[in-house]
Amino acid sequence: MNIRNLIGGVAALAMLGLSLGGALASEGKIHSVKPVAGSPLPELWSGYKYAKPDTNAMQDDDFANPGMTWYDVGETAWSKKDGAAGKSCAECHQINDMKGVGARYPIVDAKLNRLMNVEERINYCRQNYMQAKPWKYDSQKMLGTVIYVKAQSRGMPVKVKIDGSAAPYFEKGKKFYFEPRGQLDMSCAQCHQKYYGQQIRMNTLSQGQSNGFPVYRLKWQKPGSLQRRFRGCNKQVRAKPFKTGSDEYMALELYLAWRGTGLQVETPAVRN
């Protein structure tokens, strides 16, 4: 079913004073939680807190949220056969089975013994089961499919594993977060931990939480992956960005997800 038709049904129910739960309903309004033990932050705030009111209103309304257009792209791609094997995602997975994926990834795959985010998982399935070419992270089909998958977890609290086989990746991501780099000799923590809530270039610095990615940025006029944001931040401090899917960025994704433990999945969030 096309999401636009489903949303129309939701609107009809809303007129009758009813509500519809699940991934396609607007996420809850909880954008702040207490941090887990060991967190460097006294309170966790989603980027929603630091966005402009009209931007938040856009996110809250599935009709107005421009990221939902990519949801439709993902819904179509999910059921489309591709590759030499002539298979689709839907042949192996019911979309309802994806509930929770957006809240618990990145994870360490026990068989492959490596850290994987949702993009890497999609490409692994494409190459190994569909015998199809991998998608680039910020291609339309990849962004759409990741949004489609992660949106099934909207409203669920982020909770990733950082112990066991994930521990080395977590420590690497933590080190990256606090390590100064580039000509400006700045770390992620300087903006998103020390000075969040303050303004820079007419924008308010957020805590840099990842619970809304892929996000639709008004600046980009399209959604973008978390690793696109990493590259942009590295360029802003005059540092050479790492490659998309690099060990450094994968580890950083895990650390950021833990740092935002308990915040609700907002994909696709809308940001300035």
pLDDT of residue 19: 34
Nearest CA among 153, 152, 135, 134 for reference residue 143: 135
At 159 the pLDDT is 98
Q: Write down the pLDDT at residue 26.
A: 45
pLDDT for the residue numbered 28: 52
The residues annotated as belonging to the active site are 233
Question: Is the pLDDT at 9 greater than 50, yes or no?
Answer: no
Pick from 30, 127, 141: which is nearest to 83 by CA? 127
Listed in order, strand segments (DSSP E) in 159-265 are 199-200, 203-204, 215-217, 222-224
153, 266 contact by CB (below 8 A): no
DSSP letter for 224, please.
Answer: E
Per-residue pLDDT band at 14 (split at 50, 70, 90): very low
Decide if pLDDT at 21 tops 50.
no
Q: What is the pLDDT of residues 120-138, one digit of tens each?
A: 999 999 999 999 999 999 9
Structural domain boundaries in the chain: 42-271
Q: Domain 42-271: which CATH class?
A: mainly alpha
For the entire predicted model, the pTM comes to 0.89
Reported as a single tens digit per residue, the pLDDT across 29-76 is 689 999 999 999 999 999 999 999 999 999 999 999 999 999 999 999
**Token digits of residue 13:** 């129910």
Beta bridge partners of 6: none
